[in-house]
Amino acid sequence: MPDSLANRSEIERWNGPAAQRWLAERERHAAIRHRLLPHLLALSRPDDVVLDVGCGCGDLTRALAGSVTGLDVSEPLLEVARRSVPGVEFRRGDAQTYPLPPAAYDLIVSSFGVMFFDDPVAAFGNLRTALRASGRLAFLCWQDPLANEIFAIPLRAFRRYGFAPDPISRDSFADPGAISAMLAEAGFAEVQVDALREPARLGSDVPDVMGYAFGSSQVRDLVAAAGPEVAARVRAEMEAEFTARTRPDGVWVEAAAYLVTARLMPA
C-alpha cells in the first residue's frame, strides 16, 4: 500500500541509509537489547495472537510465543525477516495508518519500534482498534539519553564543551508521564511504565565502540558543529570512559529502557 504521508520522512529514512546502517550493525543491536527483550517476551503466552510492530529483521518475532505477524515500514529489513523467520507473515506498512484487522490480536508488542510516529496518539489509537476486548499492549522504549550510558557517554562529553542536543521534550517517550498521557488519550487504561536497567555489550573493544559511536548521525552532527579541536578532546574523553567499561568479553554499558504495558479502556 502507499506510504503514509504523516510519517514520510521516517519511512524514507528506513528504506534508505538508516536501514543499511541497521543491517550493518545488526549483531551489535541484538547484543545491546539481549537482556532487555526477556522482559517483553515474558508477557507473551503460547495461545496469543500477536502483532509485532516495528518488527525489523524479525528477531523479536522469532522469539515470541503464539501466532505472530510482523509489521514494519522498512522493506530492506523485512526482506531479512522473511528469510530469517519462514512461515511468519510480515507486512510492510505504517502502524499509524495501516488498515489492521479489527479486534484480531491478543497482544501487540514492540521492541523500540513505536518511538518514531508523527502522531503517537493517532498511531496508538489505530493499534487499539486491532486488539481484542481483553487485549494487551506492551513495548520497550529508551529512557532519557542522558540517563542511558549507550547515548550519555558521547552526549555528556560534548555537553562539557557547550555542544549538546536540545533538552528532551515533554512529549518524548523518555518521559513516563507523557507516555501515560498519550496512551490514555488513545483509549488505553491500566498503563504501567517500569524502568529497566540492564548491562549491554556495546562492542568488542574500544576502537570498535568508537567507530560505532562516531558513525552515528547524531555524533557526526555534533562533530561538525564543535570543530576538530573539541572533537579530538571529546574522542579522548569517550575513549577513557569506554576503557573503564572494558571487560575480557567486550565493552559493557548500562542500558536504560522503559517497559510499558496497557490494556483497552473499558467501554
Reported as a single tens digit per residue, the pLDDT across 93-144 is 999 999 999 999 999 999 999 998 989 999 999 999 999 999 999 999 999 9
Element (H, E) at 239: helix 228-244
Identify whether 227 is part of a domain: no
Give the number of C-alpha atoms closer than 13 A to the C-alpha of residue 118, restricted to the C-beta side: 12
Strands (E) across the chain are located at 49-53, 67-72, 89-92, 105-111, 131-142, 188-203, 246-247, 250-264
Pairing of β 89-92 and β 67-72:
parallel
Q: How confident is the model at residue 265 (pLDDT cuts 50, 70, 90)?
A: confident
- Answer yes or no: are the C-beta atoms of 126 and 104 closer than 8 Å: no
Identify whether 20 is part of a domain: yes
Q: Which set of grid coordinates corresponds to residue 19?
A: 536501514
Q: What CATH number does the domain containing 134 carry?
A: 3.40.50.150
Q: How far apart are the first and last CA of the chain?
A: 32
Give pLDDT, residue 108: 99
Rounded CA separation 32/200 (Å):
5
- Answer yes or no: are the C-beta atoms of 134 and 108 closer than 8 Å: no
Task: Show the CA angle centred on residue 191, arms to residues 188 and 197, nearest 5°.
Answer: 140
Q: How confident is the model at residue 189 (pLDDT cuts 50, 70, 90)?
A: very high
Identify whether 194 is part of a domain: yes
Identify whether 89 is part of a domain: yes
Q: Per-residue pLDDT tens for 33-59?
A: 999 999 999 999 999 999 999 999 999
Q: Is the pLDDT of residue 2 over 70?
A: no
Find the helix packing angle between 75-84 and 17-24, rounded to 10°: 40
Q: Per-residue pLDDT tens for 60-96?
A: 999 997 899 999 999 999 999 999 999 999 999 999 9
Contacts of 135 (CB under 8 A, 6+ apart): 103, 105, 106, 107, 108, 263, 264
The pTM assigned to this predicted structure is 0.92
Structural domain of 127: 8-145+168-201+254-264
Number of other residues whose CB lies within 10 A of the CB of residue 194: 11
Q: How confident is the model at residue 1 (pLDDT cuts 50, 70, 90)?
A: very low
Identify whether 206 is part of a domain: no
Identify whether 116 is part of a domain: yes
Identify whether 223 is part of a domain: no
Identify whether 2 is part of a domain: no
Q: Which set of grid coordinates corresponds to residue 140?
A: 520497550
168-182 mean pLDDT: 81
Number of domains observed in the structure of the chain? 1
Q: SS3 of 175, please?
A: coil
Residue burial 13-26, b: 16+ Cβ < 10 Å; e: rest: bbbeebbeebbebe
Q: What share of the chain is helix, strand, coil (3-state, %, to 5)?
A: 40, 25, 35
Q: SS3 of 168, please?
A: coil
